[in-house]
Amino acid sequence: MSDDKKFRSYDWFGKSDKMGFVHRSWLRNQGYPSDYFDGRPVIGICNTWSDLTPCNAHLRDFAEIVKRGVIEAGGFPLEFPVTSLGETIMRPSTMLFRNLASMDTEETIRANPLDGVVLLTGCDKTTPSTLMGACSVDLPTIVVPGGPMLNGRYKGECVGSGSFNWLIKEKQTVENYTAADILEMEIGVARSQGHCMTMGTASTMACMVEALGLTLPGAAAIPAVDSRKKVMAQLSGRRIVEMVKEDLKLSKVLTREAFENAIVVNAAVGGSTNFIIHLLAIAGRIGVELNLDDFDALGSKIPLLVNLKPSGKYLMEDFYYAGGLPVVLQEIMPYLHPDVITVNGSTLGQNNAEMTCHNKEVIATLAEPLQTEAGIAVLKGNLCENGAIIKPSAASPALMKHRGRAVVFETIEDYHARIDDPDLDIDETCVIVLKGVGPKGYPGMPEVGNVDLPEKLLKKGIRDMVRISDGRMSGTAAGTVVLHVSPESAVGGTLAVVENGDMIELDVEQRRLHLDISDEELQRRKAAWIPPAPQAVRGYVKLYINHVQQAHLGADMDLLQGGSGSEVTRDLH
């Protein structure tokens, strides 16, 4: 034993009986000396590396750097893989599998002789999924975000990964981009290892974990290929060993105040709307009360300080060189709880004092923000009985108050089949309504809410229209897009009964989303509504459909909320 305190792993490795032998002996086939089992902290390195998750591919090597840090600090590192979710490849949506990956992470941590955990994350869902799982066990845990790619470059311009995708139809239709242009662009926006370098969901999640106090200070913005990222990984390996000795577990860091801080920070950085759904799910796991209205109450009046795509102009590499998240944290400290403890043992306020901003075009000041009110607005009304959201910083000011005729698509297939039909009765004043893309309906609530506009309107020069759905939108996208309508259409929310020609009113300032039909007509339509057949009859997807909660609750499964702690009383013999 390295000191008097017995850690959790002692239950496995500390015994001199048959089971102690079994637990140690097979591991020793890796050549670990016997003193590795002397009671030192055992650190699980939870790796989301996968060739199928290109944003996390470099984490294969990063685990070795983390191990170096763990060993230096006197710990015993054991790396393990968990389900990795590659945003750009998995069908029908990585969101369908976020909860599955969280289950994998939770059960793997609990079932094994681990005293502390390092989460190696990157691509969008790999951060919330692993963190949700870790919260349900509640061991000391530190996050090492894998870091963004270098800025995309094409034809002398900076292009943002993700954000460019949404312009492809426009570029081809209006600017005559050729197939060769697109091919060259493909690699131009993916120049190095790392995740999307816009303020999309991956960068948003990295900022979220730093704001929650779960990373070493400054970790979020460092590009994946910058040598300082490796330093961060090694220091995190050292630190987790100390955290185990201090019993600094997740629930000590993840207080209500820490969640409030994260909401404020997300507004200031112009973070993704997906932040809402993931933060709600994380709070549900650690047992902190948080609801949709908190995001509006705490975040919507916060000024936008970070000038990154999709809300702004720059990319993560620029953000890092300008000083990264610590500069933002220092600037908005008046809106934060500075006394919350973070994983390095110091408070958020202590960690982020005396930062220097190196580029005020990239990180603005409170005195001269990019926008005065940037956070996500939560809408209410008969069209979204349990709420819906919109990201004003990514929307068109002219459409923030809008009344228009609904053009309804019953499914995503219906949308694809008809949107570019020259005879489709639609103009720029219409409201595009897309059903069947919620948690149960798709299933998995994909990022399709920011559907492309009809070709004929793009050619006319129209760049934005009001779009409403029960789906999500990529953090890299922009537009006047109402998302996360709850309840979703597949369970019979009002969205299910919107018909072509209905008038819809959006008023972001009043937080209102209204379907302009009488209550009697609404009741009549709901009574006549026939639920769609479920999308799966077996397997994980059926489990998911049966148990997933609506968007306003974070789309976690009801049976996964809360935690089961770290204790396992029964052994394998």
Task: List contacts with Mg ion (CB under 5 A).
Answer: 87, 124, 201, 474
Task: Extract the tokens encoding 450.
Answer: 């920011």
With respect to ligand FES, which residue has the nearer C-beta, 55 or 384?
55
With respect to Mg ion, which residue has the nearer C-beta, 317 or 447?
447
If you search the block for the tokens 């691509």, which residue do you land on? Answer: 123
Query: Of 568, 463, 571, whose CA–CA distance to 110 is shortest?
Result: 568
Residue 474 binding partner per list Mg ion, ligand FES, none, with a CB distance cut-off of 5 to 8 Å that depends on partner kind: Mg ion
CB of 458 vs ligand FES, minimal distance in Å: 24
3-class state of residue 505 by DSSP: strand
Sort strands 76-81 and 42-47 into parallel, antiparallel or unpaired. Answer: parallel
Residue 470 binding partner per list Mg ion, ligand FES, none, with a CB distance cut-off of 5 to 8 Å that depends on partner kind: none
Q: CA-to-CA distance for 452 and 431, rounded, in angstroms? A: 13
Q: CA-to-CA distance for 363 and 351, rounded, in angstroms? A: 18
CB of 148 vs ligand FES, minimal distance in Å: 8
CB of 124 vs ligand FES, minimal distance in Å: 5
Query: Can you list the alpha helix ranges (DSSP code H) found in 421-569?
Result: 455-459, 519-528, 539-547
CB of 117 vs ligand FES, minimal distance in Å: 22
Query: Can you list the alpha helix ranges (DSSP code H) found in 468-510?
Result: none
Phi/psi-derived region of residue 213, left when phi > 0, alpha when psi is between -120 and 50, beta in every other case? left
AA identity, residue 240: I
CB of 360 vs Mg ion, minimal distance in Å: 29
With respect to ligand FES, which residue has the nearer C-beta, 200 or 444?
200
Q: CA-to-CA distance for 262 and 246, rounded, in angstroms? A: 24
Sort strands 377-381 and 152-154 into parallel, antiparallel or unpaired. Answer: unpaired
CB of 55 vs ligand FES, minimal distance in Å: 3
With respect to Mg ion, which residue has the nearer C-beta, 93 or 480?
93
CB of 128 vs ligand FES, minimal distance in Å: 13
Q: CA-to-CA distance for 216 and 197, rounded, in angstroms? A: 20
Residue 244 binding partner per list Mg ion, ligand FES, none, with a CB distance cut-off of 5 to 8 Å that depends on partner kind: none
Provide the residue count of the chain: 573
- Cβ contacts of 561 within 8 Å, gap of 6 or more: 284, 285
Residue 123 binding partner per list Mg ion, ligand FES, none, with a CB distance cut-off of 5 to 8 Å that depends on partner kind: ligand FES
With respect to ligand FES, which residue has the nearer C-beta, 200 or 213?
200
Interface ranges with ligand FES (CB under 6 A)? 55, 87-88, 123-124, 162, 195-196, 200, 202
Whether residue 369 is preceded by a cis peptide bond, meaning omega within 30 degrees of 0, is no
Residue 196 binding partner per list ligand FES, Mg ion, none, with a CB distance cut-off of 5 to 8 Å that depends on partner kind: ligand FES
Residue 428 burial (C-beta neighbours within 10 Å; 0-12, 13-18, 19+): middle
Residue 55 binding partner per list Mg ion, ligand FES, none, with a CB distance cut-off of 5 to 8 Å that depends on partner kind: ligand FES
With respect to ligand FES, which residue has the nearer C-beta, 196 or 292?
196
Residue 88 binding partner per list ligand FES, Mg ion, none, with a CB distance cut-off of 5 to 8 Å that depends on partner kind: ligand FES
Residue 344 binding partner per list ligand FES, Mg ion, none, with a CB distance cut-off of 5 to 8 Å that depends on partner kind: none
With respect to ligand FES, which residue has the nearer C-beta, 454 or 475?
475
Query: Of 502, 535, 336, 335, whose CA–CA distance to 404 is shortest?
Result: 502
With respect to ligand FES, which residue has the nearer C-beta, 196 or 370?
196
CB of 475 vs Mg ion, minimal distance in Å: 6
